[in-house]
Amino acid sequence: MLLEGLRITILFLIIPMLLGCGMAKIIHVYEKPSFSGILFRYVVGQIMMWAVFELIGVPLIYMKRSFRSAVVIWCICILIIVVLEIVYIVWRRKKESCETGQEPMDAGILVLALIAFGLIGLQCYQYVFRMHLDKDDSRYIVNAVEAYENDQMLVNNPATGDAYTYEQSSSVAKDTASPWMIYTALMAELVGIHPTILAHTILPVILLGMSYMIFWLIGEALFGAGIFEKLFFVIFIAWINMFFCNTTHTQSTVTLVRIWQGKAVVAAVAIPMLLYTLLLLYHARGEASNGRIYILLTVVSLGSCLLSGMGIFFAGIMTGVYGLWYVIVSRRWKELVGVCVACIPTLIYGMIYAGLL
Amino acid sequence: MLDILREEYEFFVSYSGNSLIMVLYVLSLIYIGCAGKEMRRKLLYPSLLLMFVILNPFFYTYIWKKLLDNVFWRMMWMFPVVPCIAYAAAGILGRIRRWWLRALVCVGMMAVVAVSGQFIYADNTVFVEATNYYKLPQEVVDIADRICQLDDSPRVAAPRTLYCYLRQYNQNISLMYGRNAEGYISAISDIDQRVAKEIESDTPDYDYVFMNAAYEGCNFVITYAGKVVPEEVLSTYGYVPYISMYNYVIYANTGLPDGGSEGFRVTQYGSSGKNLMMYTVEDKQGNLIVIDGGSKQRSRELLMLLDQYDRHVAAWIITNYDEKHVGAFNTILSEDNGVVIDKIYAAPINRDRYLETEDSEDNKNSVETACKILDSCPDVSWLKEGDRIDILGMSMEVLSAWDEDTDAMEDRLLEAGSLCFVLEGDTERMLFCSNITTDVERKLRDKYRDKISVTYLQAARQGKNGLVSNIQKYTEPEAVFLDAVEESFQDKDADAKDLALRDYYAMSGCRIYYYSSRPNTVILK
């Protein structure tokens, strides 16, 4: 149990933070340490981990390589990126003086923070201590369990366990383009916990946490430094999520009920993150760092592609619509190149999804 | 245009459930619109642009519908409903300076949200008590454990309450159909579909379930407790009750060979109305024989069936050129659809003589098309009476085909010239009579009396030749296939002759298969 706890800490906390620190430095966002900066780094780090897996996982699945080989290659890639980023941070730090941004704290803030934690905690409690049965897991979770137990990726029809036949190849193409459940298996492998347990208990807490972290950042993008507004914003997000559940189809329902599934991660994490990144882009218009945010936008798009077909297309649509609008507003037409680059993952993985590649 | 908007509205309703929260979203957009130029540019205009792109009828028709089909509602996840409402709420609260008023307004707005929506945790079925770390139904975990005690890689035919979860717990368990029975990941065979349906049925046909489960290598069959499986069925297919747990009874067949029971599976397909002839025979290596294929209307169904064999047919037997027999064959072979047929065995026909005697233009066209296709196929064997060939390890013996006697007839040449043959497995035989007339039946009775005693019979002309030829006394099958819906024998006005053969076999305890329960299967051992 202790070992698993240590592994979870390293994989879900330390590595994303290290990855996110480097990205923050590279794109000049939240370079100074602050509460929001920590959240930003964590979220970006997680999404970088997804993006790396999307880059290496899809070709490996195509080549019918073993699951363990994907695990090893992903670990090596992440290690290399972490080392490079540490080198970059150390190099940058020598050039800069480091200031810390201290945010004010009073009793009102504490109360609101407690309310926010209480609401989010209630949602986490449901995931950790209670159980939601979802028939779609007969595809998603089973794909993860197959990789974990049989060391193969998307070879068999998850519903039966029989090898895929030719007529089922379109189904395989969709899963290949967005192998989120293989990534879940990878996490399970590295943590040493069965994918079903990981997906139903640990991942929801992490993903739900990420979702609210992103909303905090969106709050910051909308309200600036106003901490009261940001806290109210997150409280209302959490509150509305619990009530915008008239059907099983709303983004709130999938966020609170089955967040471990790729399409739900799109609704809970990817779409808010895309919105946040595009807001960052809007804020940085006319600044020198603007071009660098397109790096983040491309990484977020790539990470979205890992999640599901919706992630592939929604990333392209949101980038296209918001990106184009911001280009028009700022009248910086050369930034259209950045918007197009950020849409490349949608183009490539969309073609894979449709079975055209 | 109106239809498209109506479709979009239906998707919108299925997404939001007409929640009042959408009204709050609209109000929040108005608030954002009043919050200054910066906010309009940052959030309002792009949100409206996104809504325009998503709901635009042109994009909907030509892109979104093609891309997402019946899950278009997921596009609506991109509407920033929750952040916009939260922004408006937080923005309003941020403007209030007095803390008590702020708290009051905050509670009031929370109450508005609560009243407008539906509380997710109010429904006790959304989250239930977890009884294991996997967060799976406890019965799934226990049943899987018990099954795996007997076999570490079992194959299971399971009811729908279990099949979604078994493989989440243990990957070594394979399933006969799993959630594919609900049209989930891929199409399954009609046979597997029927097995799934029978298990859920109030009056399951367990003979069908266990026969096909055994043939497909399922060493475990799980049924609902309370629906008793006849002893006779269990002993026939080698299953024994293993354990009763929760609401289920698990039957095990520990002696089942890998890959399932031996033999050739003969399947009768059909339609809910029109009489036709459409059979398949498959072996354990996954090779498929098609017999006739039915009418043109069945071609799509047949093609879907062939998909399960990668569109590869080991042999196609044509017994008759009536549209009800070769319509699907003509359609499929006329298209470039990648169907590969290794060998075609066809009933011979004297086209000139046939065309002289036939009045029906449809039949003439059907014969002409089939013959044209067959002329262009390289591997066609025209069979005649007495021919004996080996086909997928079975012996096929032709008892009757078009000959000089047929030429001499004045009418009903196509029926009389039907290919009548016996398929012989290791120990069992099946007689296919196609559409033969009573005269041909008499010939069989007199000439092949010893050969027409079979285990299974496909009765000629839907079994409506009656008892005239007396052939029934020599066939003595365990099961007989009538290529018609059962209702056609229950019609009060039905001809007594039509009912006679059916009644005869029913009286003798023979199992009778109609289209009503299609696909019907027997295993030819």
The yes-or-no verdict on residue A169 having pLDDT over 80 is no
Smallest Cα distance from A152 to chain B, Å: 12
Q: pLDDT digits over B113-172, tens only?
A: 999 999 999 988 899 999 999 999 999 999 999 999 999 999 999 999 999 999 999 999
A228/B93 Cβ within 8 A = yes
Task: Tell me the per-residue pLDDT of B275-320, one tens digit each, with 9 for 90 and over.
Answer: 889 999 999 998 999 999 999 999 999 998 998 888 999 999 999 9
* Residues B173, A161 contacting (CB under 8 angstroms): yes
Q: Is B186 at the interface with chain A, CB within 8 A?
A: yes
> Residue B86 is nearest to which of A142, A237, A317, comparing CB atoms?
A237
- Contact flag A232-B185 (C-beta cutoff 8 Å): no
Mean pLDDT of A213-226: 94
* B107 reaches A (C-beta below 8 A): no
Mean pLDDT of B203-223: 96
Mutation target for B interface from A4, A222, A281, A282: give the one with most B CBs within 10 A: A222
Percent of chain A past pLDDT 90, that is, above it, reads 75
* SS3 (DSSP) at B139: helix
Residues in chain A with CB shorter than 8 Å from the CB of B114 are: 239, 243
Examine the pLDDT at A286 and tell me if it is beyond 80: no
> Which of A200, A232, A248, A351 to mutate to test binding with chain B, by most B CBs within 10 Å of its CB?
A232
Question: Which helix or strand (DSSP H or E) is residue B344 part of?
Answer: strand B340-346
What is the reported pLDDT for A77? Answer: 96
pLDDT in the model for residue A5: 92
- Between A31-35, B192-196, B326-330, B404-408, the lowest mean confidence (pLDDT) is in A31-35
Identify the closest residue of chain A to B97 by CA–CA distance: A228
Q: Do A132 and B128 count as a contact with CB atoms less than 8 A apart? A: yes
For residues A141-160, average pLDDT: 94
pLDDT in the model for residue A354: 86
Interface size A-B, in CB pairs within 8 Å, comes to 258
Average pLDDT, chain A: 91
Chain-chain contact of A246 with B78 (C-beta, under 8 angstroms): no
**Could you report the predicted ipTM of this complex, rounded to two decimals?**
0.94
What is the Cα–Cα distance from B140 to B157, expressed in whole angstroms?
A: 14
- What's the pLDDT at B66? 86
What mean pLDDT comes out for the span B61-88? 92
What is the per-residue pLDDT across B216-241, written as a single tens digit (0 to 9) for each?
A: 999 999 999 999 999 999 999 999 99
Q: With an 8 Å Cβ cutoff, are A325 and B175 in contact?
A: no
CB contact under 8 A, A139 and B184: yes
B 483-512: CB under 8 A from A: none
What per-residue confidence (pLDDT) applies to A291?
81
Q: Does B160 touch chain A (CB under 8 A)?
A: no
Tokens linked to B370: 């089939």
Residue of A nearest to B98 (CA): A108
Contacts of B163 in chain A (CB under 8 A): 138, 159
Distance in Å, alpha carbon of B175 to nearest chain A alpha carbon: 4
| Better-predicted residue by pLDDT, A103 or B146 | B146
Query: Is residue B494 scored above 70 in pLDDT?
Result: no
Mean of pLDDT values over A328-351:
91
Residue of B nearest to A278 (CA): B42
Interface touch A142/B167, C-beta < 8 Å: yes
What are A276's two structure tokens? 């946040």
pLDDT per position as a tens digit, B176-189? 999 999 988 888 88
For residue A166, is pLDDT > 70?
no
Cβ of residue B310 closer than 8 Å to a chain A Cβ: yes
Kindly determine whether residue A244 and residue B81, on different chains, have CB atoms separated by under 8 Å.
yes
User: What DSSP line would sit under A235-266, residue for residue?
Assistant: HHHHHHHHHB-SSTTSHHHHHHH-TTSHHHHI
Output the pLDDT for position B118.
Answer: 94
Torsion sign over Cα B126, B131, B132, B133 = positive
pLDDT value of residue A103: 55
Beta bridge partners of B522: B266
Our CA-based measurement puts residue B66 at a distance from the nearest CA of chain A, in whole angstroms, of: 11
Please report the pLDDT score of residue A279 as a whole number: 94
Does the beta carbon of B80 lie under 8 angstroms from any beta carbon of chain A? yes
Burial of A90 (0-12, 13-18, 19+ CB in 10 A): exposed
- pLDDT band for position B517 (cuts 50, 70, 90): confident
Q: What pLDDT, on a 0 to 100 scale, did the predictor assign at position A167?
A: 62
Verify whether the Cβ–Cβ distance A130 to B128 is below 8 Å: yes
Q: Mean pLDDT, to the nearest integer, of A289-301? A: 90
Q: Do the Cβ atoms of A282 and B41 come within 8 Å? A: yes
d(CA A338, CA A128): 41
Contact B159, B222 (CB under 8 A): yes
Which residue of chain B is at minimal alpha-carbon distance from A140? B168
Q: What is the dihedral of CA B310, B314, B317, B318, to 10 degrees?
A: 50
